[in-house]
Amino acid sequence: MLFRADWYAPLAAAGALFWSLSAIADAAEAAPAAPAPTCDVQEYRQFDFWIGKWSVTERGRPAGQNMIEPDLKHCALFESWSSVDGSRGRSISFYDRNTRRWHQTWIDDRGGALELDGGVVGGSMVLEGDRPNPKAGKSVRQRITWTPQPDGSVRQHWQVMNAAQSTWETVFDGLYKRART
């Protein structure tokens, strides 16, 4: 005999599997897709007070110009800094829905990088992070606080931790005022 009596069994099983998978695929197509996440919730608007074109001063003297622009469907803020000494820097700031914290990554034209995390504290955006200090042979804690002022300006207060004294020391205390266009 050339064929076994149950020759059709594997073929029937393969056909049943095919039809079952087709039914599952049809059901998946019929189910409505979950909406894609957006950045339309309030947490993504917490740093919007910093958006704009700014003239920045420190102790009344010009320090530079800064442009803060929302992008990526308002999921991130992009910063473009130009100092009066000619140096430049850029950052991206965004709210991370997974950690429920704000994050900023900064890089300047001298290779200085800074990674900060945090959130709103008492109406101010407060971000902190550690930055390696090769001279000291250890990391130094950095903290930058942006505070909206009643007149529409923004104060940026950058501090570093003096580990020996456990105190914060000011590195930069700038005032952002809207630039005239």
Average pLDDT of the chain, as a whole number: 87
- Band the pLDDT of 75: cuts 50, 70, 90: very high
The pLDDT tens digits of the residues spanning 87-115 come to 999 999 999 999 999 999 999 999 999 99
**Angle of CA points 67, 39, 131, to nearest 5°:** 55
Confidence of residue 17 (pLDDT cuts 50, 70, 90): very low
d(C-alpha 3, C-alpha 21), whole Å = 29
- Nearest alpha-carbon partner for 145 in 107, 119, 167, 181: 119
CB 145 within 8 A of CB 125: yes
Q: Is the dihedral of CA 59, 57, 45, 104 positive or negative?
A: negative
CA 87, CA 63: separation in Å to the nearest integer?
11
User: 42-178 belongs to which CATH class?
Assistant: mainly beta
Q: Which residues touch 170 (CB under 8 Å, ≥6 apart)?
A: 157, 158, 159
d(CA 16, CA 24): 12
User: How much is the pTM?
Assistant: 0.80
Domain ranges for the chain = 42-178
Q: What is the pLDDT of residues 48-67, one digit of tens each?
A: 999 999 999 999 999 999 99
Confidence band of 26 (pLDDT split at 50, 70, 90) = low
Using alpha carbons, list the distances in angstroms from residue 67 to 78, 91, 124, 155: 8, 11, 19, 15
Spatial separation of the C-alpha atoms in residues 125 and 101, rounded to whole Å: 11
Instruction: State yes or no: pLDDT of 132 exceeds 60.
Output: yes
